[in-house]
Structure 1
Amino acid sequence: MKLYIKPGACSLAPHIALCEAGYDVETIAVDLAAKTLPDGSSYLDVNPRGQVPALALKSGRILTEAAVILQYIADQNPGAHLLPGYGTEDRYFTLAWLNWVSTELHKRFGPLFTPGTSEEAKQAARDGLMQQFAKLEARLVESNYLAQTGYSIADMYCFVVLGWAQHVGLDLSGFPRVLSYQARIAERPAVQQALREEGLL
């Protein structure tokens, strides 16, 4: 499989998942501003939406959207236990957390990374994120990971998004369980591998 990425972006989550699942993956860094690939060709020819991640499947089709790619990777190697099995209640509770990360964390960072966003809109985004971090802190009182079944694709995505806080000046020191959670995930060999491969270590 071939994964189109921007180092440190949400594409890092499926990169981690591929490492956790034991796949050899070719990563291709995309210049998102220019929408170009390293060879100068247009990334829009690969993914007309122009965003990362995009996963090139063996069939030649291109799968997009981080949350969906994560589910696909987990289902290709059930033995890696990245997502509970089809039809189980635990699967849907895990997917609920995955979607929470996508909608309540990831999307709230958007105004903070978008040039031209008003200070009022940025402050609203910061306030909203701090509220969500408080919810995550409360969750981590109950469980070491988002899902009761343990480490999953939801945690991979959450780990990546939490890493953006330092880049936009959000202080997580008031959330000790969140910081411990970040550190615990960062120590995983597959996470270390993905970070190294993206030049982030």
Structure 2
Amino acid sequence: MKLFYSKGSCSLVVRILINEIGIDCEYEAVNLATKITESGCDFLSVNAKGSVPALLLDNGELLTENVVIQQYLADTYQAYNLLPSADNFLRYRALEWLNFITSDLHKSFAPLFNSQIPEDLKDKIFKPLLIKKLDFINKHLEKNAYLLGEEYMLPDGYLFVILTWLARVGLDISNWPLLADYKKKVLAREPVQRSLKEENLIT
């Protein structure tokens, strides 16, 4: 199994999950600007979408889309502590959060990362939309240690990675004290530390 990734991007979520479960995996970095991998391969010949993460399975199948890869790995390796089985309604709460993070929160960063959009437009329109979503999650954490209660589960790794992007778009996480505490708590997990070190994001 091989994960195609880009340092610090949303593919970090999959690396964290791999380390949470304890799966053996190869990794190959992708330059998203040139679409060339670290081995010199044309990434578009691997994944025509040109995006990461992309997971090449041992049977030759390529799986794309972050949430789908996470669900596949959790189901395949029966990581029910991270994603409950289908007979447990909590599974659908986990998927609900995963979909909110990918479709609402993650997508809110796209215009803020776009250098073609004027900064004043980002400040007036796009940042307020993101702030509203962060306010919602911060309030949710008033009564929850993690997104789904007292235990770390699949959506928490995804939210953690998203929170690492805030400084890059000029937002201070200290404006959301509960989110700041939450980020520290997730950061303290050994699989998260290992994943960050593997991508040289911390020493």
Alpha-carbon offset, residue 104 of structure 1: 1.5
What code does the residue aligned with 1:102 have? Answer: T
Q: Is the 8 A contact 2:144 2:150 kept in 1?
A: no
**Identity across the alignment (%):** 40
Whole-Å separation in 2 of the counterparts to 1:80 and 1:93: 13
Whole-Å separation in 2 of the counterparts to 1:161 and 1:78: 25
Task: Identify which range, 155-164 or 37-46, moves more after superposition.
Answer: 37-46
What code does the residue aligned with 2:112 have? Answer: L
Match of 1:100 in 2: 100
- For the residue of structure 2 that corresponds to 1:91, the secondary structure is helix
- Kindly indicate whether residue 8 of structure 2 is the aligned counterpart of residue 8 of structure 1: yes
Q: Is the 8 A contact 2:2 2:28 kept in 1?
A: yes
What code does the residue aligned with 2:24 have? Answer: D
Q: Is the 8 A contact 1:74 1:81 kept in 2?
A: no
- Kindly indicate whether residue 115 of structure 2 is the aligned counterpart of residue 152 of structure 1: no
Task: Identify which range, 164-173 or 48-57, moves more after superposition.
Answer: 164-173
Unaligned runs of 5+ in 2: none
Task: Identify which range, 181-190 or 69-78, moves more after superposition.
Answer: 69-78
1:90-118: CA deviation from partner (whole Å, max 9, x where unpaired): 10011000111111210000011112013
Whole-Å separation in 1 of the counterparts to 2:179 and 2:156: 11
- Kindly indicate whether residue 174 of structure 2 is the aligned counterpart of residue 181 of structure 1: no
Match of 1:83 in 2: 83
- Kindly indicate whether residue 134 of structure 2 is the aligned counterpart of residue 165 of structure 1: no
Match of 1:194 in 2: 195
Whole-Å separation in 2 of the counterparts to 1:77 and 1:164: 29
- For the residue of structure 2 that corresponds to 1:173, the secondary structure is helix
Alpha-carbon offset, residue 182 of structure 1: 0.3
Whole-Å separation in 2 of the counterparts to 1:56 and 1:120: 41
- For the residue of structure 2 that corresponds to 1:128, the secondary structure is helix
What code does the residue aligned with 1:101 have? Answer: I
Q: Normalized against structure 1, the TM-score is what? A: 0.96
Whole-Å separation in 2 of the counterparts to 1:79 and 1:65: 19
Q: Is the 8 A contact 1:5 1:29 kept in 2?
A: yes
- For the residue of structure 2 that corresponds to 1:141, the secondary structure is coil
Cα 1:149/1:95, change in 2 over 3 Å: farther
Match of 1:134 in 2: 135
Whole-Å separation in 2 of the counterparts to 1:72 and 1:149: 24
Unaligned runs of 5+ in 1: none
Q: Normalized against structure 2, the TM-score is what? A: 0.95
Write out aligned runs for 1:34-49 (5 A): 34-49=34-49
Alpha-carbon offset, residue 20 of structure 1: 0.1
Alpha-carbon offset, residue 87 of structure 1: 3.0
What code does the residue aligned with 1:169 have? Answer: G
Whole-Å separation in 1 of the counterparts to 2:87 and 2:119: 45
- For the residue of structure 2 that corresponds to 1:30, the secondary structure is strand
What code does the residue aligned with 1:115 have? Answer: S
Q: Is the 8 A contact 1:11 1:53 kept in 2?
A: yes
